[in-house]
Amino acid sequence: PQPSLDRTCTAAAAIGLLSELHVLPEFRSHGFDKQAEVVEDALVVLLEALNK
């Protein structure tokens, strides 16, 4: 599949979900905040590529 702006919305939703899960005590030890950062970094790269 080709990158698209639709995929950036899905990635942004994933970032939000991972961030929300991280604040819950039962999920805090799973490192979802770090995973959210990784997805966010990838999203920045994708957006830069789409806007060139």
Average pLDDT, the chain: 88
Classify each residue of 3-38 as buried b or exposed e, where b means 16 or more C-beta atoms within 10 Å of its C-beta: eeeeeeeebeeebeebbebbeeeeeeeeebeebbee
- How would DSSP label each residue in 28-52? GGGTHHHHHHHHHHHHHHHHHHHT-
Range of 26's domain?
5-50
Angstrom distance (rounded) from CA 4 to CA 2: 6
Reported pTM: 0.78
The mean per-residue pLDDT over the stretch 9-38 comes to: 94
The mean per-residue pLDDT over the stretch 20-29 comes to: 96
What is the number of domains present in the chain? 1
